[in-house]
Amino acid sequence: MNYILEIESRNKSEAQKKASEILGIPEDQLDFESEGSGLFGMMARKPVVVRVKTKEHPGDEALIKGVLLTLVYKMGIDVEIEDFEDTEENYVVHIDSEDSGILIGRQGKTLDALQFLLNLLVTPELNNKKRILVDVARYRERRKKKLNKLAKSVADRVAKSGRSVLLESMNPYERRIVHLTLEEDDRVTTRSEGNGLYKRVRVVVLRSEGEEEEYYEEEYYEEGEEE
C-alpha cells in the first residue's frame, strides 16, 4: 500500500506525533518518510513534509481520514476533521476549514469532486465497501434541510396548480433527498430527467388513481446556495 497521509510540520518529530493522533495509530506501528531537513537537525529552513505508511491495514476510518487530509493538503488548504460517522450505509466525514467556501464551490460541485476522488482512491482498499460522504462546515446538512423544505413547497405548488415543476440540476445524493421527501405524498410523484451525474428532478401531479396527470409544464429554478 502506498502512503496514506502526507502532512507538513515544523520538524519530523512533531509531524510523526501529529500523524499518530490523526490516524489514531501508535507511532511504532507507522513508517515515516520525510522531506526537508533542519540546520544540524535544529533549525529548519522550511517545514518538513512527512509521508506516512502503515505496517498493516490501518482500518477504514484511519485510511479515509489520511487520504482525505492528503488530498486537501495537496490543494493548499488547511482543514480539521470534526467528526467521523460509521452509519449503516455510509461513512460520513465532517471537516471544517477557514476556506470552507473554496472547498464547497458553487452549488457544492468542488465538494462533490473531492468526494468522488476520495471514493475512487479509497473504496477498493476498504474492509467495508461503503460509500464515503464528505461534509464541509455542515454544508450537506444545511443543504438537506433546504431541499426538504423546497420539495414540500414545490409539491404544494404542483398539487394546487396542476403544473409540473422542474428543479435545478442536482447530484444523485441531493436527488434522492427530494425523491424520499415526497415518496409518501399521494398528490405528486417525482422523476429524474437528463443525462450524466447532474440530473434534474421533475415533480408531477397525480390523478386520484395514482397515474400522472398530463398538465402543461412549468420550469422552476431554485437559487443555488452560495458559500
pTM of the model as a whole: 0.78
The domains of the chain are located at 5-140, 141-219
pLDDT tens sequence across 141-200: 899 999 999 999 999 999 999 999 999 999 998 999 999 999 999 999 999 999 988 999
pLDDT band at 45 (very low <50, low <70, confident <90, very high): low
pLDDT tens sequence across 62-88: 999 999 999 999 999 999 999 999 999
Closest CA to 35 of 4, 12, 13, 16: 12
Average pLDDT over residues 36-57: 71
CATH homologous superfamily, domain 141-219: R3H-like domain (3.30.1370.50)
Overall fold of domain 5-140: GMP Synthetase; Chain A, domain 3 (3.30.300)
- Strand 90-96 and strand 131-136: the pairing is parallel
pLDDT tens sequence across 94-107: 999 999 999 999 88
* Percent of the chain's residues with pLDDT above 70: 86
pLDDT band at 225 (very low <50, low <70, confident <90, very high): very low
